[in-house]
Amino acid sequence: MVYKVRGGVKLITSSSIDKKFDVRMRTNIELKRNIARKAITFIKEGDSIFLDASTTCLIFAKEIIRKNYSDLTVVTNSF
């Protein structure tokens, strides 16, 4: 994959994606945790939810695991 830069395009390497993800994971971490904790209050057994590949949703997914739901359907984009 490539992305547009001034004067052309640049190859996206997996290491550059990983670095950006790591930076995003450290950015606004407490805010993301607060969002996840609030969002978890809306989830109940039997629900179906969709999670994207964002860092906020990753933190939310960790909260879901901590709650140990027995009947929850989680749909992702599978990328």
Written as tens digits, the pLDDT of the chain (79 aa) is: 666 788 888 777 666 556 788 888 889 999 999 999 999 999 999 999 999 989 999 999 999 999 999 999 999 986 5
Q: Which amino acid is at 16?
A: S
Number of domains in the chain: 1
Residue 61 is predicted with a pLDDT of 95
Q: Which amino acid is at 18?
A: D
Q: Is the dihedral of CA 31, 32, 34, 35 positive or negative?
A: positive
Six-digit token pair at 71?
């009947």
Q: How far apart are CA 29 and CA 21, in angstroms?
A: 13
> What pLDDT is attached to residue 38?
97
Is 0.85 topped by the overall pTM? no
The domain in which residue 12 lies consists of 2-76
Q: End-to-end CA distance of the chain, in Å?
A: 14
Residue 50, both tokens: 């969709």
Identify the three-state secondary structure at position 34: helix
